[in-house]
Amino acid sequence: MAQRLNVSYNRKPCYDIVFSTGWNELKEELQELGLTERKICVCTDSNVDALYGEAVLKLVSDCCKKAVKFVFPAGEEHKNLDTVKDAYRFLIEEHFDRKDVLIALGGGVTGDLTGYVAATYLRGIDFIQVPTTLLAQADSSIGGKTGVDFEGYKNMVGAFKMPRLVYMNFETLKTLDDRQFFSGFAEIMKHGLIKDAEFYEWLIENMYEICERDLDVLSEMLMKSCVVKKLVVEKDPTEQGERALLNLGHTIGHAIEKAKNFELFHGECVALGTVAAAYVSWKKELLSMEEFYEIRDMFVPFYLPITVEGIDPEEILKLTKSDKKKDGDSIRFILLKKIGKAVIDTTVTDEEILNAIKEIYFDEEAND
Ligand code: GLY
């Protein structure tokens, strides 16, 4: 029997997150939501399509009026307005109207892009998140952030659009390659660091099982992680304040992602950005030196990077200024007061940011 968690929006129950280990219960969920008389478009990328596209399409065809599939090329470079236009065209050709529904089947790119199409097609239609990566299950499928990149700037165009349902099939975690899997883990660690020291300790205690992808432990981990995310987005759904805490590691992380031309995964950049943020926190005497090194080294057993080569620290600093996480001219930087407690800080200077970037920069020439 699947477990579930309800997420409220503006203090009213809004959508369920369903935790499952198969596809079958998705059918019951669609029936439960009264969607069987609707046309459904399964939106997915070429990688996920090869794994689960047909199974999900068949399941949806069996219980809904009509099911079609929109497949776009995999990769962050396709998370843009061109793919959005292709999706609009497809939906128009398939005569989708305002009552019809999209299902985002895949990772963060698919969820964000499909959500944005759902938010804007015919001024908004329903959509369901079916995240298949650890990153999407832990983070991006929850909370209604949707959007695409614009001219290399991450998530520059987007909208808040709550899904009707988030359906997670944990079995999908088995088909992720190691790099994808551990990249997603960075967002889970982030939830412990910003809000829940007990969860952070639990992650350390269960390190071996997590790395071995023990499904029971992964289920428990995701449920705990989703509770943190749920509580934050319920309090501040449109990021007027506290939701910004979820951006720990993202200001510098996004800058590295762009500078490296998306060659590093999002979670890898978040790990690097978190080490840098912890460094600033130490230098501002919020964290002790021991805490900084503990946080930094905690990423290592999960195969996440704590240093990066081939960057220009000055360029990264410049790129942090074009990230969205700004408040007027100042950057809303997320710092750590201790493990389990993050704060928003708008006083971090360029020099402090630059020193933090240098801390994570591995200069090959200097180390020859
Ligand atoms: N991924 C950060 C947020 O949902 O606000």
Cα of 352 vs centre of ligand 1, distance in Å, is 25
Cα of 92 vs centre of ligand 1, distance in Å, is 30
* pLDDT average, residue stretch 76-102: 97
Residues 145, 161, 190, 191: which is the catalytic one? 145
Does ligand 1 have an atom closer than 6 angstroms to the CB of 246? yes
Q: Does residue 49 surpass a pLDDT of 80?
A: yes
Q: Tell if the pTM clears 0.85, that is, is over it.
A: yes
> Is 191 among the catalytic positions?
no
Write down the pLDDT at residue 365. Answer: 79
Confidence label for 328 from pLDDT (cuts 50, 70 and 90): low
Record: fold of 178-360:
Dehydroquinate synthase-like, alpha domain (1.20.1090)
3-state secondary structure of 281: helix
Write down the pLDDT at residue 50. Answer: 98
- Inter-CA distances, 216 with 141, 222, 243, 316, Å: 21, 10, 29, 39
Write down the pLDDT at residue 214. Answer: 95
Which residues of the chain are in CATH 3.40.50.1970 domains? 3-175
Write down the pLDDT at residue 135. Answer: 97
pLDDT in tens, 53-82: 999 999 999 999 999 999 999 999 999 999
Does residue 9 come out as left (phi exceeding 0), alpha (psi in the -120 to 50 range) or beta?
beta
Euclidean distance between the first and the last CA atom of the chain, given in angstroms as a whole number: 56
Confidence label for 327 from pLDDT (cuts 50, 70 and 90): low
pLDDT in tens, 173-214: 999 999 999 999 999 999 999 999 999 999 999 999 999 999
Which letter, b or e, does each residue of 276-299 get, where b requires 16 or more Cβ atoms within 10 Å of its Cβ?
bbbbbbbbeebbeeebbeebbebb
- Contacts of residue 114, defined as CB under 8 A and 6 or more positions apart, other chains included, come to 43, 87, 102, 103, 104, 127, 146
Record: fold of 3-175:
Rossmann fold (3.40.50)
Write down the pLDDT at residue 2. Answer: 85
> Is 201 among the catalytic positions?
no
Confidence label for 153 from pLDDT (cuts 50, 70 and 90): confident
**Nearest to residue 107, comparing CAs of 210, 21, 7, 187?**
187
> Is 154 among the catalytic positions?
no
Q: Does residue 325 surpass a pLDDT of 70?
A: no
Which residues of the chain are in CATH 1.20.1090.10 domains? 178-360
* pLDDT average, residue stretch 347-356: 96
* Atom from ligand 1 closest to the CA of residue 247: 2
Write down the pLDDT at residue 140. Answer: 97
User: 67 or 329: which carries more pLDDT confidence?
Assistant: 67
